[in-house]
Amino acid sequence: MQAQIDQYTTEINAFSPANAEELEAFRIKFLGTKGIIKDLFEQFKNVGPEEKRTFGKVLNQFKQLAEAKYNELKEATDLGLKTQDLGLDLTLPGDGFAVGSRHPLSLIRTEIIDIFKRLGFVVAEGPEIEDDWHNFSALNFPEEHPARDMQDTFFIKKNHGKDDIALRTHTSSVQVRMMENGKPPFRAIMPGRVYRNEAISARAHCFFHQVEGLYIDENVSFSDLKQTLYHFVQELYGEGTKVRFRPSYFPFTEPSAEMDISCTICKGAGCNMCKYTGWVEILGCGMVDPNVLENCGIDSAKFTGFAFGMGIERIANLKYVIRDLRLFSENDVRFLKQFQADII
Ligand code: PHE
Residue-level pLDDT, tens digit, the chain, 344 residues: 788 889 999 999 998 888 888 889 999 999 999 999 999 888 888 888 888 888 888 899 999 999 999 998 888 877 776 666 666 777 888 887 777 788 999 999 999 999 999 999 999 999 999 999 999 999 999 887 776 766 789 999 887 777 889 999 999 999 999 999 999 999 999 999 999 999 999 888 999 999 999 999 999 999 999 999 999 999 999 999 999 999 999 999 999 999 999 998 888 898 888 899 999 999 999 999 999 999 999 999 999 999 999 999 999 988 888 889 999 999 998 999 888 755 44
Q: Count Cα neighbours of 195 within 13 Å in the Cβ-side half-sphere.
A: 14
Q: Where are the domains of the chain?
A: 2-86, 104-342
Write down the pLDDT at residue 95.
81
**CATH of span 104-342:** 3.30.930.10
Write down the pLDDT at residue 82.
63
Write down the pLDDT at residue 110.
95
Nearest to 245 by CA among 261, 264, 266: 261
Question: Which mutation among 170, 220, 253 tests ligand 1's pocket best, with the greatest number of atoms within 8 A of CB?
Answer: 170
Residues 288, 251: Cα–Cα separation, whole Å: 9
Residues 19, 69: Cα–Cα separation, whole Å: 15
Question: Could you tell me the sign of the dihedral formed by the alpha carbons of 288, 289, 292, 297, in that order?
Answer: positive
Ligand 1 centroid to Cα of residue 267, in Å, is 26
What type of residue is 285? C
pTM: 0.72
Question: Which mutation among 252, 256, 282, 312 tests ligand 1's pocket best, with the greatest number of atoms within 8 A of CB?
Answer: 252
Q: Is 176 in the pocket of ligand 1 (CB under 6 A)?
A: no
Q: How far is CA 325 from CA 193, 259, 328, in A?
A: 14, 21, 6
At 63 the three-state DSSP class reads helix
- Counting from 1 in the atom list of ligand 1, the atom nearest the Cα of 194 is 4
- Counting from 1 in the atom list of ligand 1, the atom nearest the Cα of 212 is 7
Q: Is 212 in the pocket of ligand 1 (CB under 6 A)?
A: yes
Q: Is 175 in the pocket of ligand 1 (CB under 6 A)?
A: no
Ligand 1 centroid to Cα of residue 210, in Å, is 9
How many Å from the N-terminal Cα to the C-terminal Cα in the chain?
A: 64
Write down the pLDDT at residue 343.
44
Q: How far is CA 25 from CA 9, 13, 82, in A?
A: 16, 16, 20
Residues 309, 304: Cα–Cα separation, whole Å: 17
Q: Is 172 in the pocket of ligand 1 (CB under 6 A)?
A: yes
**Is residue 335 classed exposed, middle or buried when 0-12, 13-18 and 19+ CB atoms within 10 A define those classes?**
middle
Q: Is 307 in the pocket of ligand 1 (CB under 6 A)?
A: yes
